[in-house]
Every structure is written in structure tokens, then in C-alpha cells.
């Protein structure tokens, strides 16, 4: 994809070390919630959650299966689309299973609200949600994830799986985009 965005720099907001420490503690809480289960499916929302889900499942001391779902998102811009569509469905069945949905950011709340409704209609035994980042100031629908990594202000962020125009997903930290012109 051509880089046709105005010039910008990325200012670090959350270090790789802080993320790792937070994930360790979240994994302990999730382990307590799902203790004893042998039917947990961890569902990552593509593509932004792929780094988070990879680190999170490796801290979980539970038997887990991993599946992925893709919902329509920002596209290549910086604005939420609000109308959420399922672009890629799960491969596996979740009826009667425990499900943990893993998202990168809760922003307006439309995506997770929609995805949760979509998955609950398949009658999982339990469905919980986790998002690495939460921007409560941007909420448009009443949605609260069961676990949040970090609350952040209303800034456009990248890194640790999260992109701007498909770039910067490979940064090991979370940074905010600052335009220089």
C-alpha cells in the first residue's frame, strides 16, 4: 500500500515492558475466572489483536484453542465505521464452549457490542471479553469489556499489532501518532 499519509512521528505511550507486566496480571485473573475449564476458545479479532492474543495465550495456564474472527473496521483511515459487519467467521463451533474474545481497542464500542451479540446468539457456555486498550471518552454505545489492559486518552495509537494504513503493527510498544505538518 502506498504511504499517502501526511508525515508523522510516533511517540511512545506504553512500553513493551509495561504491556508484558500487565498481560501477566490479566492472565492470572483470566485463569481464576476460567479455572477448571477444558473447553476455552480464545477468539482474536483480526487483525489488530494478533500480537496481544499471541502474548496473552502464552501466559494462560489453561488448555486453550485459538480461533479468529474479522469484523469491518477503520479501513485505512482514522475514523470508526460504526456499522459493523462480520468479514470472516470463526472456523470452529462455540456452542456450549467458554469463549474469551480478544480485541485491541474499545473505542466507540460498536465493534465489541456487535461481535458479542453475534457470538452470544450461538449459545456459548460463557463469553467474556478483553481489550488491551480502552478509550472511554469515545464511547457511543454502552459497552464494557470484562478486562482492560490500559485506559488511554482519545489519541490515535499504533504498534503492538495496531496499524495506521497497515503500517506499524510490528512496533513492540504502543505509541501515538503525531503529525509533523
Based on the residue annotation, tell me whether 107 is a catalytic residue of this protein: yes
48 binds Mg ion per the rule CB under 5 A: yes
Give the integer Cα–Cα distance in Å for 131 and 108.
13
**Minimum distance of Mg ion from residue 12's CB (angstroms):** 21
Which of 110, 127, 161, 175 contacts ligand 5GP by CB under 6 A? 110
118 binds ligand 5GP per the rule CB under 6 A: no
Which window, 31-39, 87-95, 120-128, 161-169, contacts ligand 5GP (CB under 6 A)? 161-169
**Minimum distance of ligand 5GP from residue 129's CB (angstroms):** 11
134 binds ligand 5GP per the rule CB under 6 A: no
Calculate the dihedral angle through the C-alpha atoms of 155, 156, 158, 160, rounding to the nearest 10 degrees. 50
138 three-state secondary structure: helix
Give the integer Cα–Cα distance in Å for 25 and 10.
27
Q: Which of 98, 107, 134, 163 does the annotation list as catalytic?
A: 107
Give φ, ψ of 70 to 5 degrees: -120, 125
175 binds ligand 5GP per the rule CB under 6 A: no
DSSP 8-38: EEEEEEE-HHHHHHHHHHHHHHHHHHTTT-S
The alpha-helical segments, DSSP class H, found in 44-171 are: 50-59, 110-120
Residues in region 29-68 near ligand 5GP by CB under 6 A: 48
List interacting residues with ligand 5GP (CB under 6 A): 48, 73-74, 80, 103-111, 156-158, 162-164
Supply the residues annotated as catalytic: 107
List interacting residues with Mg ion (CB under 5 A): 48, 73
Amino acid at each position: 500500500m502506498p504511504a499517502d499519509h501526511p508525515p508523522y512521528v510516533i511517540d511512545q505511550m506504553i512500553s513493551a515492558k509495561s504491556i508484558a507486566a500487565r498481560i501477566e496480571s490479566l492472565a492470572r485473573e483470566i485463569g481464576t475466572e476460567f479455572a477448571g475449564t477444558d473447553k476455552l476458545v480464545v477468539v482474536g479479532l483480526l487483525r489488530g489483536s494478533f500480537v496481544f492474543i499471541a502474548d496473552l495465550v502464552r501466559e494462560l495456564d489453561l488448555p486453550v484453542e485459538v480461533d479468529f474472527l474479522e469484523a469491518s473496521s477503520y479501513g485505512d483511515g482514522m475514523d470508526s465505521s460504526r456499522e459493523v459487519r462480520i468479514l470472516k467467521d470463526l472456523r470452529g463451533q462455540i456452542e456450549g464452549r467458554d469463549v474469551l474474545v480478544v480485541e485491541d481497542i474499545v473505542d466507540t464500542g460498536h465493534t465489541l457490542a456487535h461481535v458479542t451479540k453475534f457470538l452470544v446468539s450461538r449459545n456459548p457456555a460463557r463469553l467474556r471479553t478483553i481489550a488491551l486498550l480502552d478509550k472511554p471518552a469515545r464511547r457511543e454505545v454502552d459497552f464494557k469489556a470484562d478486562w482492560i489492559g490500559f485506559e488511554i486518552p482519545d489519541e490515535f495509537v499504533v504498534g503492538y499489532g495496531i496499524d495506521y494504513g497497515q503500517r506499524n503493527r510490528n512496533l513492540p510498544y504502543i505509541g501515538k501518532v503525531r503529525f509533523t505538518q
